[in-house]
Structure 1
Amino acid sequence: LSAALVLNLWVGYFPTVQSAWSQLTSGPLPDQTDQATVTAMAASRIRPPHGTVVPVAIPSDGSHFKHRGELVYLPPEWFATTPPPALPTVMMIGGQFNTPADWTRAGNAVKTIDDFAAAHDGKAPVLVFVDSGGAFNNDTECVNGVRGNAADHLTKDVVPFMISTFGVSPHRSNWGVAGWSMGGTCAVDLTVMHPDLFSAFVDVAGDFFPNAGNKAQTIARLFGGNADAWAAFDPTTVISRHGPYRDVAGWFAISSDGPPPRRDLQLAESGAIRLAGRDAAANPGNQTAAAYSLCAIGRSNGIDCAVVPQPGKHDWPFADRVFAASLPWLAGELGTPGIPRSPLPAASAPGAGAPVVVPAEHSKR
């Protein structure tokens, strides 16, 4: 219990007592309904005033990854026609300690997307809240490795399921990924590894590469010592090997408050953060360097990106604010009906010729 309290204090996992109770008792999510009701509503062309959250059981035929139940948010526009319009989709990924519902509870994403839809005549992207870990303390970093084929689950199970079940657009120009902390790392990695599936990402304080410690520890813990497998999921290596990208864009969100204070690092070192085998001090406060470096590398290879500072620390309330700030850009970038495209915030975007600062951990063996 004490470790859980420390973890919550550090990452803002439960912003309110009510959200903690709902999570612990598996209380229903805001606007939650079952798939049969959604099907009946769609057949009757009943356009609800708010979006709907639907629990789903996604088969793992493509990955054989053991995962928990996942969630889908359908905006009011999805119910406008039968069959439903082929809307864009955003894959939502949480942090190292996660459940698929985290973005909806701690991250407030349902209210954010509902408010956005209400301001745009019910139009918004579909969201799918995925399970990247399979268990609360199984830190996969969204890779295929000794902890499971998480990457295959997200790309080979989730994407086809969403297209076949909810009729979302199959085109890569209409798919994006948004994630906080570990999920931010995943958002970049999935997009640069699979530009045939995804065209935009929002990285909220992610790391420089899939991180289960320093480089040597990560190779051992995630890939069983296989350095080539690590390189296949290292964004810098992937981008460099791929060469020029076309029509890929990303929003890197960082805290304008600077590195975490010593008090937060002490909380991290208390033991709660080591529940999943990560060294707490392996990459503390390095998300800013990671964002600027990855954006510079990306821009030199054709990826349109910006580093966007916002006040806050490395916690779920920060992720909540970033998602709200980036959603108009992301929805427009993915071609959401009725949502105009808007440029990335340009003030903090490093130029294509900006120097790339590689964190020391990237080269440590």
Structure 2
Amino acid sequence: MSIDGTTTVFLAVLLVLAVTVLLAVLWPRVRVLARIALVVAVLLSLTSASLLELNRLTETYPSWDELAGSTAAPAPRVARPGHGRLESYQVPGPASGMNERMTVYLPAAYFTPEGAKLRFPVIEALHGYPGTPEAWVRRLNIVDHLDREIAAGRMAPTVVLLPHQTPDRLLDTECLNLPGKAQAETYVAQDVPDWARTHLRVRTDAAAWGLTGYSAGGYCAMNLALKHPDRYSAAASLSGYADPGIKVGDESEKTTNNIAWRLRHLPQPRVALWIGWAADDHGASRGSREVAGLVRPPLTVTTAVIPQGGHSHTTWRAMEAPAFDWLSAHLARPA
């Protein structure tokens, strides 16, 4: 039973009700110290249930092991014939100093005799904050989406990397290098690709590398693509923002790490952007529209808007397959 599952929260709520009923029944029959103990038990159970529900909504800790700080690898997903497989690897970052576990989607073609001779394009999929890569698997059903789009021919067989963007689940990095703290940009844009090129059968050229992300991860995807056009050729943002929404520590959230500022003041690189949002998600739609409106050649942009869904997994599930299809169309094929 996972820490962020609805069953866990439901059982916690039942415990609150049981302790509350016990308090009401025993109140006239017990002494002061016992009453105090029962009140404390009610408060503790209520607090625990609230924290579990908050964790479920924010995806801060997807498992009990994560909460305990364990770095043990999650159980591998058993692949069905003709379907992709999820693997988990420990990925050290010699340049960034970070060392995180990373989930990797390997397409079914990766394991065929023909695929053994190929190197595959790569997409890095970035999560929101709070959140972990597990949200892509459990909340956004990324494996089913990728399997379906690849099987239908709308997407080429592609390796998809799901890296952590922070060494501390409560530290929001926005995939940036924070002075004196996590060097997340270096990890995501340098260490992770370097590791993948060494340990996986993937293409090494920028034409075969792309980024995607939802919420904060959408900002990450656009920002990293604009800053590193020598490493990525396309990026897709699902409800992303024009700015990081945090204080970086060097004021760069107002300049070089502000996408709108970059597009206004710096040469625009030859990369392609896909920007999607829900019309009723006022924060993300405002930032996404601003970014799209500032794009000039050789940078290109495709936009997609759904009428409602807000800033939610419902919206991101609706945009997920179109974003991956678009990315695949803009990336080099397996070769």
TM-score scaled by structure 1?
0.69
Q: Does 1:167 align with 2:201?
A: yes
Q: How do 1:102-181 residues align onto structure 2 when only pairs under 5 Å count?
A: 102-120=135-153, 123-146=156-179, 147-181=181-215
- Residue matched to 2:33: none
**Residue 256 (structure 2) aligned to one of 229, 232, 239:** 232
Given that residues 76 and 123 in structure 1 are in contact (C-alpha distance below 8 angstroms), is that contact kept between their aligned partners in structure 2?
no
Structure 2 SS opposite 1:57: strand
Aligned to 2:6: none
**Mapped pair 1:96 → 2:129:** yes
User: Partner letter of residue 144 of structure 2?
Assistant: K
- Structure 2 Cα separation of the partners of residues 122 and 241 of structure 1: 35
Q: Once superposed, what is the RMSD of the aligned Cα atoms?
A: 2.9
Per-residue CA deviation, residues 294-337 of structure 1 (Å, 9 max, x unaligned), is: 11212x24321122112312122321221112222211111335
* Structure 2 residue 231 is the aligned partner of structure 1 residue 197: yes
Q: Is 1:297 equivalent to 2:297 in the alignment?
A: no
Give the direction of change, closer, same or farther, for the CA distance of 1:191–1:161 in structure 2 (3 Å limit).
same
Which segments of 5 or more consecutive residues in structure 1 lack a partner in the other structure? 33-46, 213-217, 260-284, 339-365
SS at match of 1:114: helix
**Deviation at residue 129 of structure 1 after TM alignment:** 0.2
TM normalised by structure 2 equals 0.75
1:128-150 per-residue CA deviation (whole Å, 9 max, x = no partner) reads 00100123221001000143100
Answer yes or no: is the 8 Å Cα contact 2:309–2:315 preserved in 1. yes
1:79 to 95, 111, 130: 111
Cα gap change, 1:209/1:121 in structure 2, threshold over 3 Å: closer, same or farther? Answer: closer
The alpha-carbon distance between structure 1 residues 143 and 255, as it changes in their structure 2 partners (threshold 3 A), is same
The alignment status of 1:323 with 2:323, answered yes or no, reads no
Contact 2:177–2:186 (CA<8 Å) still a contact in 1? yes
Deviation at 1:118, TM superposition (A): 2.3
Query: What is the CA deviation profile of residues 108-134 of structure 1, one whole-angstrom value per residue up to 9, with x for unaligned ones?
Result: 111110112222399421100010012
| Residue equivalent to 1:70 | 102
Number of aligned residues: 279
Bigger helix fraction:
2
Structure showing greater radius of gyration is 2
Q: What amino acid is the match of 1:190?
A: L
Aligned to 1:276: none
Give the letter for the 2:196 counterpart.
M
What is the identity percentage for the equivalent residue pairs of Structure 1 and Structure 2? Answer: 23
Specify the code of the residue in structure 2 equivalent to 1:327.
F
**Secondary structure of the structure 2 residue equivalent to 1:167:** coil
